[in-house]
Structure 1
């Protein structure tokens, strides 16, 4: 039986390598600004601000339009879907604002955790079903990397072999799809 492998083109390999080196550049890190609407609601509530589209946009604008020197220490920003399509007061899309500062926009692509059947209260992550189409669109819309979250429960009997295997497979599929 012959096995065929899908290898990325030389151009794609070079792009992925360039992005990886830029993201992990010495002295730099990734800003996680991918809070969901509900998480943003908690943050805004803590400061007495109503959770509206406009207040979330203004909060993110504050993060992305601060002193340009922030780019000396931030290589990339993980965005939430809503944020990807928001704009600054002057009409500049946040993605453009970040790119002008030399910051690489990324996007959260998982769709949350769900219970892992047959486990001791463990979970796996959903969102692989339409990931290829979403990644292609996010790339067109300016994102150059993606974030996916898996959770392993640490305890006396966890993580289970089932959970490790399931989450490793999910992460491998995510990586393969995102790089294609």
Structure 2
């Protein structure tokens, strides 16, 4: 981990762009971008199209370290190039944006009100390749649907167990136990989640720091204890299905919490837009998310 990247993520003003749509979510992301499923016939073509979209976002003038601290990439994106550089190198060397990698393999079936991560079978190999590609950190997602203490405890334990493996490989883990925004007992889930996260943070040594990616809480500033925790580099928020405007309003009410938006970032961007229109839309999107992140 480069010290300058650690310092930038910890102290910088801005947010993290989530550009990590995977195989399951790519068709939906392309459809929202105005590319229908009949525009491609193979998985390779599909991933080629989503890389074109990501490249268009990353190379846009507004996509810079003035507003964006980091970007989360999908595994295939890590192995592809933007212009003549591998994506992570382009992000850091040309844009000053810190590269992260999504490493989870999706969600298991719901048990005890939660969806844990599927087994990450090739994790050591992936972490080695991430280091070779100059990736700074990783991201992995679980989902909490019901305020079930046992389920939430298992989700957080799994996240931190793998997080320690990631730390041992010299990378920064973003631990993401998402609470479903449609959960009937979202606030209670958040209470249980915070308690379990604090318990796990207390097992870390002084040289083991993590990042957290959480759903914007029901109660404003509920995660202040986590934001201020000495073992937490930064706490970022997912948009979770909220439209960008609503997500920005909710985020702005939480001091010190910054965005890590995916769908909300690309909202209003379309394949058939002119470069001027695309860049203007993206600039407005980045401006709104940035302002909500620096409160």
Same fold (TM over 0.5): yes
Superposed counterparts of 1:24-173, under 5 Å: 24-49=10-35, 50-51=39-40, 52-67=46-61, 70-88=64-82, 90-100=83-93, 101-117=95-111, 119=112, 121-153=113-145, 158-173=146-161
CA gap of 1:165–1:18, structure 2 versus 1, over 3 A, is farther
Is the Cα–Cα contact under 8 Å of residues 92 and 99 in structure 2 kept in the other structure? yes
**Matched position secondary structure for 1:151:** strand
**Matched position secondary structure for 1:31:** strand
CA distance in 2, matches of 1:38, 1:175: 23
Is the Cα–Cα contact under 8 Å of residues 21 and 29 in structure 2 kept in the other structure? no
The structure with the greater share of residues assigned to strand is 2
CA distance in 2, matches of 1:103, 1:37: 24
Is the Cα–Cα contact under 8 Å of residues 110 and 125 in structure 1 kept in the other structure? yes
Is the Cα–Cα contact under 8 Å of residues 107 and 147 in structure 1 kept in the other structure? yes
CA distance in 1, matches of 2:85, 2:4: 26
Q: Which residue of 1 aligns with 2:163?
A: 175
1:61 deviates by 0.7
Root-mean-square deviation (CA, aligned residues, Å) is 2.2
Is the Cα–Cα contact under 8 Å of residues 116 and 123 in structure 1 kept in the other structure? yes
Aligned residues between the structures: 159
CA gap of 1:19–1:150, structure 2 versus 1, over 3 A, is farther
1:18 deviates by 5.2
Runs (5+) with no aligned partner, structure 2: 41-45, 169-295
Is the Cα–Cα contact under 8 Å of residues 86 and 133 in structure 2 kept in the other structure? no
Runs (5+) with no aligned partner, structure 1: 1-14
TM-score (norm 2): 0.49
